[in-house]
Amino acid sequence: MGTSASNVASSSSWASPRVPLTCSREVEAALRSGAPVVALESTIVAHGMPFPENLKTALEVEALVRTLGATPATIAVIDGVARVGLNDSELKRIAELGERCAKASRRDLAHACGTGSTAATTVSGTMALARMAGVDVFVTGGIGGVHRGGESTMDVSADLIELGRTNVAVICAGVKSILDVPRTLEVLETHGATVCAYGVDEFPAFFTRASGSRAPLRVDTPLEAARVIDASLRLGLSNGSVFAVPIPSEHEALGQVVERATSQALREIETRKIIGREVTPYVLKRVAELTDGASLKANIALVKNNARIGAAIAVELAKLRKGVSAST
C-alpha cells in the first residue's frame, strides 16, 4: 500500500504535504537504502495489451525485476494521487479498465491529480513522476517518436521532449516500428538526449532488431550503461537517456509480416482519419489482429527482455552510487 503524502514529505526532499504523490512501502524502503529501483509505466498495461494478458504480463515483469535484485515501481495516477509502486489491486484496476483508462503524459498529470482521476502514465508522464520520486531507471516497451509524415503534421511524441529535460534512463526496444526512425533520432539529438543501442550498432525498431538507422552511441554491458547514467547524474545534466535493446532474435515476430501489417494499419488510420494519441493503440491492436497475435507475443517477449536488462543496469547503478561496483 502507498504511504501518505505527509509521511513521504517528512523523509524526502522532493515532496511536501500538499503534493499528491506517494511511494509504496516497498519502493520507499528501497529508495531510502539506496537499493536498485526500476520504474515501469502503466500505459502499456492499459493500452498496450488486452486483458487479461496485460495483467499477467505486468505481474510477471514485476516478479522478474524482483528476482534480478531490484524493486519494481509501476507508476500511475489512482484517484488523483500519483503512485510510484502499485499494489496488486491497483494494477488489476488499471488492467481491467484497459482502453477506458485515461492516459497521462506530463501535460495531463496536474489535471488527473486535480480532478481525482485515474490514469495510466505514458513514457513522458512516468519519467516526470519517476524523477520526482528519485528513481533513475525506467523500463518500457518502446518510446514514442516522430510519426510518419510528421514533418507536415508536427505529430511528435511528448516522450522525445521529456527525454531532453528529465534525467531518467529509459530502457526500451527503441521506437515503435510505425514511426519515422531517422526523424525521431534527429529530434532526440536536437533536445540533447543521450541515445545508446545496447549490444548492437543499429538502432532497433521495436518488433524488429534493425531499423536501417545507425545508433549515435553504443554500450555492451549493464555496467557500462550504469556508468553512463552515473556520469550523467554526477554532471548534473538535465537530459534523459535512451538505452535501446533489440528484441531477442528468437522472438522477432516475423519482421516482414509485422511490417506489412503495419503498413496496412497505417493506410487504415489515414482513411479513418485517426490522429494523435489514438494512432499507436489502434495500429498495435490492428497489427496484432493481422498477424494472428504474433506481434502481441513479441511485445511481451521484448518487455520482459527489457526488464532483465533494465534490472541489471539498476543493480549496477546502485553499486556505483554506493562505490562498491566491480572494476570491470
- For residue 136, what is its C-alpha cell? 533513475
Burial of 3-14, coded b for 16+ CB within 10 Å and e otherwise, reads bebebbbeebee
- For residue 279, what is its C-alpha cell? 494512432
- From first CA to last CA, the distance across the chain in angstroms is 39
- Compute the distance between CA of residue 312 and CA of residue 304 in angstroms, rounded to an integer: 12
Say if CB 269 and CB 283 are below 8 A apart: yes
Q: Which residues contact 294 (CB under 8 A, 6 or more apart)?
A: 253, 254, 257, 258, 288
Catalytic site residue from 176, 202, 285, 316: 176
- For residue 91, what is its C-alpha cell? 494494477
Catalytic site residue from 41, 62, 162, 316: 41
| DSSP SS3 for 48 | coil
DSSP 221: S
Of the candidates 133, 130, 132, 100, the one whose C-alpha atom is nearest the C-alpha of residue 117 is 100
41 is catalytic: yes
Active-site residues, by number, are 41, 176
